[in-house]
Amino acid sequence: MRLGGKVALVTGGSAGIGAAVVERLAAAGAQVVVHGRDAERSAAVAERVGGAVVLGDLAVPGVAAEVAEAAIAVHGRVDVLVANAGAGWSGPFTKLNGDELERLVMLDLLAPLHLVRCLLPPMIERRSGHIALVGSVAGRTAVAGEAFYAATKAALDIFAESLRLELRDTGVGVSLIVPGVVDTAFFTARGRPYERKRPRPVSAATVAQALVDGLANDRAEVWVPGWLRVAPAVRALAPGLYRRLSARFGEQAPGR
């Protein structure tokens, strides 16, 4: 897809990967609508690229549809959706309370689906558009302490794959972005910082450039870094080895 002149909505665009994506899309000639919760930070990012701002907490039911409607109102259409907003959670699953579970399912899974539901029909009608869903390597691999987060990303993963097949010959592309560890505030925000020496985090700018390249070339999957593809391959071909490595990499289960 040629990005010049296209209208792109980036959720979670006020910081981290989202802010980097906003800058890369604008550099490619797109008109960017920056979504965020924080008005000041969102406006600062939008001002740097001459973009517009829409605000809303996607963890609240009904807000995704409002964000989609507000984004369309800016330029009359949305050609590209980058569903990036999300949050992590780490710890024993039994420690996750019901309210937090509902909030994170809405933010990490249901909000992207609602955004696609609202924005996809006009794309199909125009026979032009692209949907980029930011997943995680956690959706393809498993470690103790991330069962809940991995479940939401695994669901987003298979949604992207199925939707891409559904939209063949419509002119609308779908890409799943699969980053590993990224140097952002994600880990601090989830309440558990990243403390491992390997793998080393990649920058948000690296993920953003790979995402924009994936859009331009209609790639089904964009892995960042690329070597992460090895993990699901090991899981499929050598499940015993994969589980032993996962057990060493993840948090210790309760009582161990």
Secondary structure percentages of the chain, helix, strand, coil, to 5:
50, 15, 35
Please state the rounded mean pLDDT for residues 50-79. 98
14-18, 109-113, 161-165, 227-231: range with lowest mean pLDDT: 227-231
Angle between helices 111-126 and 147-166 (to 10 degrees): 10
Q: Identify the pLDDT of residue 128.
A: 98
Q: Identify the pLDDT of residue 255.
A: 32
Cβ partners under 8 Å of residue 256, min gap 6? none
Query: Is 188's pLDDT higher than 70?
Result: no
pLDDT band at 253, cuts 50/70/90?
A: very low
d(CA 147, CA 151): 6
**Between 181 and 219, the higher pLDDT residue:** 219
| Alpha-carbon dihedral angle through residues 47, 53, 59, 62, given to the nearest 10 degrees | 180
- What would the pLDDT profile of 119-171 be if each residue is shown by its tens digit? 999 999 999 999 999 999 888 887 778 889 999 999 999 999 999 999 999 99
d(CA 177, CA 164): 13
pLDDT band at 186, cuts 50/70/90?
A: low
Full-model pTM:
0.89
Instruction: Cite the beta strand spans of 78-168 per DSSP E.
Output: 80-83, 129-134
**Between 129 and 240, the higher pLDDT residue:** 129
Q: List residues with catalytic annotation.
A: 149
Q: List, in order of start, the domains of the chain with CATH numbers.
A: 7-249 (3.40.50.720)
Q: Identify the pLDDT of residue 196.
A: 63
Q: What average pLDDT does the structure give for the chain?
A: 90
